[in-house]
Amino acid sequence: MNLRKWGQHTLLATCDAELLGKILRDGRIVFEVREEFYKGLRVSVDEAIDLMRQSTIVNMVGQRIVEKAIEEGLVHPEAVLKISGVPHAQIVKM
């Protein structure tokens, strides 16, 4: 996970560890799980969920992290986009 702060906003980028550096392709969609964006501290899924609750913007990719965010009520299942079968979701708190 990578945590960045800008003024009163906090951006959390988190992914399942095995996806870091991978490129997902699905038709015209090309999604790169870029180390520059996602790489930072390695944390447990539960720690990432705690950080999601504190963040104003969250970008997540991966089966484990997205499923846990759904289970915790942070993401609606219909808001999940699958790219090459890999779930991706975002949270924006205004």
pTM: 0.94
pLDDT on residue 94? 82
> N- to C-terminal Cα distance for the chain?
22
| Residue 45 · residue 64 · CB < 8 Å | yes
Strands across the sheet containing 81-83? 2-6, 9-15, 57-61, 86-92, 81-83
CATH of 2-92, one of 3.90.850.10, 3.30.1860.10, 1.10.630.10, 3.30.310.50: 3.30.1860.10
Mean pLDDT, contiguous 10-residue spans, the chain (94 residues): 95 98 96 97 97 98 98 98 97 93
Amino acid of residue 82: K
Domain boundaries of the chain, sorted by first residue:
2-92
| Residue 60 · residue 82 · CB < 8 Å | no
pLDDT on residue 3? 96
